[in-house]
Amino acid sequence: MSDVKTQSVDELLEDYATTPVPHDKTVGGVRIGMINGALAFSVPGLITGLEIGQSIGIAQGIFAFLLGGLILSIMGAVTGLVGMHNRLTACMTMKFVFGSTGANILSFAFVLSLLGWYGVNIDLFSRVTQELWQQLFDYSPQIWLLEIIAGVLITLTTIWGFKLLERISTLFIPLLFLVIAYMLYQSLGYQSENVVNQVDNGFTFGEAVSAVVGSFIVSVVLMPDFTRYSASKKDTVVASFLPFFLLSSFVYLASAMAGLAVGESDVLVVMLTLGLGSFAFFLLIISSWTTNVINLYSASLGLNAIKPKMKEWHIIIFAGVLGTIISSFNLLDNFIDFLFSLSIIFTPVAAIYVVDFFLIRQQKRYDIEEMSSLTSLNWYAVIAWAIGVTVSMLVNHGFFTLTTIEVCDSVLVTSIVYYFLMQSKPK
């Protein structure tokens, strides 16, 4: 009897972490796009828009938001098409490109970064929640208690996989949109004459575009995790342009105008000054919840690619506990630089698996039955990846630039190097 129950639970929580998604499980592009759309409403997203607005003003800021969103949307559509064609996660796709051992090493780095961000977001969520409770209810909950509650809630949500993820995103994004729209409306009537004047020139235009692209680059690289459920090419394109171009540009613009109207760089102060009050509390809780569910979901898929025999929901619980423990270390200030440096590895990886699928394999699908015969390490992919990482670091430190946008430079160089290395490979 217990075996029957265990089997039924496993089937109920099946999310195809290591196998192709069946075609009858696919969904439309809007529903997929809503998942990444939830990330646009997070606190880091609001901070990005606010800082860019204060650095280059609304006029240039609008162009930076739109150009950055367009770049992200195009890149997301291309990486998403790889997921749609193969029905595999990003980390499983990497096994066919980098080899089994090479992909496992990269997957571990992905998991480390995602769990790090998971812990940092819970830490940030707990601190801001504590401050909001103090201001709204004159009561200050313990940080550790808030972190445990958030960790349990997020882990339980993630266990139910893609289906619940897209449902809660579809449910809450319209509400979050209304909250941001209300903030924008309030900012228009609050010292509106100061909106275009208070700029500090902290960013150049190119740096602002890079900041917009960088804010979502991890989501672009991991698009196959979600577009493996995409019903068609059109749905895949919609799933990319909806969050990266439409929703994120709206959020960035609204937060930039709100910050300039109030003359503040603290996003919480901006929201409270504009009278959001309990709306700010709602925005914080829901956006932090959905953001970390997405982080934990992708981290668990990465772990599942490394340990394919483990049950998905067991891995999610393990990853959720580990991420919550990380948040309790209060590593927010010292850990962020490390996490940003880890994210440098992501962009060249996406460039390589896109070139491999579309140009090298000519869109021939990866066959899961070939997994046992895969090479341990594809040195051509490793070399191209190392060059891409080096280019990212050199551009980041100002040694040179090709397009003035760090991510685009890395993609361009990595794609060319990998293509010609594979062309020189003995047949």
Domain count, the chain: 1
- Give 202 or 252, the one with higher predicted confidence: 252
Which pLDDT does position 122 carry in this prediction? 82
Q: Which helix (H) or strand (E) holds 169?
A: helix 161-188
**Statement: residue 197 has pLDDT above 70:** no
Is 269 in a helix, a strand, or coil?
helix
For the chain, the straight-line distance linking the first and the last C-alpha, in angstroms and rounded, comes to: 54
Residue 256: pLDDT band (50, 70, 90) is very high
Helix (H) or strand (E) holding 112: helix 100-137
Helix, strand, coil shares, percent, the chain, to 5:
80, 0, 20
Q: What is the pTM of this model?
A: 0.87
Number of alpha carbons in the 13 Å side-chain half-sphere of residue 25 = 17
Is the pLDDT assigned to residue 194 strictly greater than 50? no
Contact at 8 Å (CB) between 259 and 184?
Answer: no
Q: Which residues contact 382 (CB under 8 A, 6 or more apart)?
A: 98, 102
Among 78-82, 88-92, 272-276, 399-403, the range of highest mean pLDDT: 78-82
Selection from 129-138, 204-213, 304-313, 358-367 with the highest mean pLDDT: 358-367
The residue ranking higher by pLDDT, 336 or 369, is: 369
Residue 153 forms part of a structural domain: yes
27 bridge partner residues: 230
In a domain, 5, yes or no: no
395: which residues sit within 8 A by CB, 6+ positions away? 401, 402, 406, 409, 410
**Higher pLDDT among residues 2 and 264, named by residue:** 264
Cβ 385 vs Cβ 349: under 8 Å? yes
Is 320 inside a domain boundary? yes
Beta bridge partners of 230: 27
Give the mean pLDDT of the chain: 84
Tokens of 413: 């160089």
Written as one letter, the residue type at 399 is F
Q: How far apart are CA 311 and CA 39, in angstroms?
A: 27
pLDDT of residue 99: 92
User: b or e along 111-120 (b: 16 or more beta carbons within 10 Å of the residue's beta carbon)?
Assistant: bbbbbbbbbb
**Residue 215 domain flag:** yes
| pLDDT of amino acid 114 | 84
Q: How confident is the model at residue 45 (pLDDT cuts 50, 70, 90)?
A: confident
Contact of 234 with 33, CB cutoff 8 Å: no
For residues 382-408, give the mean pLDDT: 87
Mean pLDDT of 398-415: 87
366: closest CA among 86, 62, 31? 86
The verdict on residue 8 lying in a domain is no
CA torsion sign, 170 to 175 to 176 to 177? positive
- Examine the pLDDT at 279 and tell me if it is beyond 50: yes
Q: From the centroid of its chain, how far is CA 54?
A: 24
Residue 247: domain span: 25-423
Q: Classify residue 287: in a domain, yes or no.
A: yes
Decide if 76 is inside a domain.
Answer: yes
CATH number of 307's domain: 1.10.4160.10
For position 333, what pLDDT does the model report?
56
Number of Cβ within 10 Å of residue 396's Cβ equals 16
Distances (CA, A) of 318 to 87, 99, 270: 25, 26, 37
- Place 340 in a pLDDT band, splitting at 50, 70 and 90: low
Q: DSSP readout, 35-89?
A: HHHHHHTSHHHHHHHHHHHHHHHHHHHHHHHHHHHHHHHHHHHHHHHHHHHH---
In a domain, 37, yes or no: yes
pLDDT at 360 over 60: yes
Residue 369 token pair: 């039955």
